[in-house]
Structure 1
Amino acid sequence: MTVVRFDLGNTPGNDDVPRAAAPDALQTLTAAAADAGAAWTQLGDTLLVTGVPAQLERTGAGRPPMDRVEVPAARLHLVIQNGRQFQQEHTEVPVLVDKGRYLVVDLDPAEAGRLIEPSERHLPCFGVRPLPADTVVFEQRPPVPVPTLAVAGPRVAAVSRDAFAADLRTLAGFRTRHSTSTEFRTALDWADGVLSALGFGTRVQTVALPGGSTQNLIAERPGRGGDGRAVLVTAHLDSINVRDGAEAPAPGADDNGSGAAGVLAIARALQDHPGARDLRLILFGGEEQGLYGSRHYVADLPQEARDRIHSVLNMDMIASRNSPSPTVLLEGAAVSQLVLEELAAAAQAHTGLTVQTSLLPFNSDHVPFIDSGMPAVLTIEGADGANDRIHTAGDTLEHLDLDLALEIQRMNVAYLVQALGQA
């Protein structure tokens, strides 16, 4: 089987920041591939087409590919999330396409099967699955300047860099926030105090873990009318050091001090916003052990409460700039397509972010909501898979880009103002 790679970019860029695909070129090539019986997979500005030579000749229609390689189709796999860790652990595996969070690799199916199964000791920091055919892994949307939406503008401007930086320093100042540690509970109690002081009602939910327990912190401000639905903003509070174990230092500045501090920043920006819908903020424990906190929270919701959830906005790593242009990935599923589109529109209206979108949800706290049919979207720094400091003692403050984190928070606040509605 032959794999050819086409460059669809229509603006300058590089592989670290995939460019927007030219729509005409993409439509022409994917339609030609379908007509020829070949399979295609889009990753930003790159289109992979797999087939026999005759099929590929019909697909190309005179457009020269960037390169071609002979690989049996069964060996083509997609690595999702921490691509750098995969490369460090499997240096012998050829990488055919490197897009930061996503890698396309040449991997023996038997070995892939072993990697696909979750580890008993810890869910892997990356996922491996057969390369999906006729699928968009992610799209790229360049920043488009449009007038700021007047209704959201003041709330967007209320996102405080100083307060966010102070909260982030506090969270990263703990030696670890491992889910079962006393430091985690101290961090959770501190966050509880911050949210209570802002006027949110709070409660703590106990979550069972193998060999122990952890906690979720849930804070809520009721809406002032409307349809009785709730908008959720979530992040995991825990950190981990995968290489050195539960007792080792794990400051978790980016993963996920940035997301947890982002929840507090949103609470401050919206504390007196007269939203019609309920605003519910959740800091989960046990994410690093396998999404235990969010899975427990969702499983504990009766169906009536699930039906009341309007949308879920999850933040997991929002402060490391892994590419030349500030980029955010919005990851959801078909059930969350509308939320994803509204977040992308908010980014274009209020920020200079390049937006990537994906409907292949993986391994963060938005997934349990999606699995239960609720619209949830992960907002995460672009090319997060290129960040090889996470889950180590090296995930510290000096590596963070607060400007990127603020842009992502501004996008999220702009979306939330719309989602909460006016009382």
Structure 2
Amino acid sequence: MTIVRFDLGNTSGNDDEPGLARRDALRTLTAAATGAGAAWTRLGDTLLVTGAPAQLERTGAGRAPAERVEVPTARLHLVIQNGRQFQQAHPEVPVLVDRGRYLVVDLDPAEAGRIVEPVERHLPCFGVRPLPADTVVFEQRPLAPARTRAVAEPHVAAVSRDAFEADLRTLAALRTRHSTSTEFRTALDWARDVLSALGWATRIQTVALPGGDTQNLIAERPGTGGDGRAVLVTAHLDSINVREGTAGPAPGADDNGSGAAGVLAVARALQDHRGSRDLRLILFGGEEQGLFGSRHYVAELDPAELGRIHAVVNMDMIAGRNTPSPTVLLEGAAVSQAVLEELAAAAQAHTGLTVQTSLLPFNSDHVPFIDGGVPAVLTIEGADGANDRIHTAGDTLEHIDSGLALEILRMNVAYLVQALGQA
């Protein structure tokens, strides 16, 4: 078998006519590959097609320039999430496609299961799996022309840059927010005071960890009735330093001070909004050790409570600019499709974000909800795997792009106003 790679542009361009032409060409090539009986995998504007020479000829003949790659199909693997840490740990592994969060690599199948390195022996920084066939790993959505974007909804306009930046400074000023540290509890108590002052009812949930415990902070405001369902906004509060361990500094400005400060920004922007559905905010502990906080939270819900959850919007790393244009990845699963589409529509109507979407959920606090059958979507900076500062002492405020964070927050708030329903 031979692999052919079609590159039809970059994954961060705007929605101009050339961009539309690229998308049309990708659809044509994908359909041609299917018709020829070849296997295909798409990553944004890159299409990999695997098949016999005759199948590849029928796929690409006269349609687009192509690069042939002679790698056995069984050696093709997809690296998900922290691409840069994978490359740092395994510089000997050839990278065939680099899309930040996703890498396609040439790797012996016997080695693939042995190289996923754990964080504190619990959670890997990246996942490695055989390259999925006939799959869109991620898709890039058209960017709405500025002239068609909606007039700012009042609660969207209420998202405050000053408050977001002040909250993020408070969180990143702590030496660490490791899940079992006293500094983590300091951050949790501070966030609880902020939410209580905004009128939210709060409670603490204790979560067992190997070698100790941590906490989740849950804040809730009831709706006015409606269908009795709840909308959740979540982020993890903890940070980690994988190079130096618990003794090393872990400011975690982007991962995940940005998401935690984002939850507080949502609380402020929707302080005076009353929808028909409950609004619940959660800051999780133990994410970096293996999604312990979110797994515990979901496990503690009985089936009726789990079924009451209308949607979950999770924020994990929303302030690292890794692409030329401000980009957000919306990651969910089939159960999340409706929420994902509504978030994408909110981004187009209220922001200038380039939107990427994926139905391959991995390694953040939306996953336990999806596993429980709940529609949940991760909102994360585009090409987050290209950010090599996370999980180190270098994840500091000087690398934060507040403008990107504010755009992602505006998208989320616009969606939340709709999802909460009318009072």
Question: Structure 2-normalised TM-score?
Answer: 0.96
Moved more, 66-75 or 408-417: 66-75
Post-superposition Cα deviations, 1:91-145, rounded to whole Å, max 9, x if no partner, equal 0100000011110000010110213586771311111000000000000113203
Superposition map of 1:12-411 within 5 A: 13=13, 22-115=22-115, 121-145=121-145, 147-149=148-150, 153-411=153-411
CA distance in 2, matches of 1:408, 1:201: 26
Contact 2:120 2:289 (C-alpha < 8 Å) held by counterparts: no
Please give the alpha-carbon distance, in whole angstroms, between the structure 2 residues aligned to 1:216 and 1:404.
27
Structure 2: how far apart are the matches of 1:328 and 1:21? 22
8 Å Cα contact 1:10-1:22 kept in structure 2: no
* Rounded Cα–Cα distance in structure 1 between residues aligned with 2:71 and 2:85: 23
Q: Is the Cα–Cα contact under 8 Å of residues 116 and 126 in structure 2 kept in the other structure?
A: no
For residues 318 and 196 of structure 2, what CA distance do their matches in structure 1 show? 24
Partner amino acid for 1:97?
V
Q: CA deviation at 1:25?
A: 1.8
Q: Give 1:61 shift.
A: 2.7
Contact 1:21 1:140 in 2 (8 A): no
Question: What is the one-letter code of the residue matched to 2:295?
Answer: R
Deviation per CA, 1:222-272: give whole Å up to 9, x if none: 001211100000000000000100121000000000000000000000011
SS in 1 for 2:247: coil
State how far apart, in whole Å, the 2-side matches of 1:377 and 1:274 are: 23
Is the contact made by 1:2 and 1:69 (CA closer than 8 Å) also made in structure 2?
Answer: yes
CA distance in 1, matches of 2:150, 2:411: 12
The secondary structure found in structure 2 opposite 1:246 is helix
Task: Name the CA distance, whole Å, in 2 between partners of 1:304 and 1:91.
Answer: 48
Whole-Å Cα distance in 1 between the matches of residues 118 and 89 of structure 2? 16
Which string of whole-angstrom CA distances, capped at 9 and with x for unpartnered residues, describes residues 28-51 of structure 1? 222221222210000001100011
Q: CA deviation at 1:66?
A: 3.3
Alpha-carbon contact 2:12-2:324 (below 8 Å) kept: no
- Please state whether the residue corresponding to 1:144 is helix, strand or coil: coil
Matches of 1:260 and 1:363, distance apart in 2: 17
Deviation per CA, 1:291-342, whole angstroms, max 9, x where unpaired? 0000000000000001100000000000010111000000000000000000
CA separation of 1:325 and 1:20: change in aligned 2, threshold 3 A: farther
On the 8 A contact 1:20/1:44 being kept in 2, the answer is: no
CA contact (8 A) 2:2 2:68 kept: yes
Give percent identity, aligned residues only.
84
Is the Cα–Cα contact under 8 Å of residues 119 and 288 in structure 2 kept in the other structure?
no
CA deviations over 1:135-178 (Å, ceiling 9, x no partner): 0000011320364556x710000000000000000000000000
Return the letter of the residue paired with 2:211.
G
**Partner SS for 2:93:** coil
Residues in 1 aligned to 2:310 and 2:289: alpha-carbon distance in whole angstroms? 27
CA distance in 2, matches of 1:388, 1:227: 44
Conserved 8 A contact 2:9-2:22: yes
Secondary structure in 2 matching 1:98:
strand
Q: How far does residue 375 in structure 1 lie from its aligned partner after superposition? A: 0.1
The CA deviation at 1:24 is 2.8
When residues 402 and 20 of structure 1 are mapped into structure 2, their CA distance, relative to the original with a 3 A threshold, is farther
Partners in 2 of 1:330 and 1:21 — Cα distance?
23
Distance 1:226 1:132 in 2: 41
Distance 1:61 1:332 in 2: 35
CA distance in 1, matches of 2:10, 2:247: 49
Q: Secondary structure at the match of 1:196?
A: helix
Supply the distance in 2 between the matched residues of 1:367 and 1:196 (Cα, whole angstroms): 28
**How many residues are treated as equivalent by the alignment?**
418
User: SS of the counterpart of 2:113?
Assistant: helix
Deviation per CA, 1:66-103, whole angstroms, max 9, x where unpaired?
Answer: 31110011100000111011011110100000011110
Give the CA deviation at 1:347.
0.4
SS of the equivalent of 1:363 reads: coil
Amino acid at match of 1:377: V
- Amino acid in structure 1 at the alignment position of 2:203: R
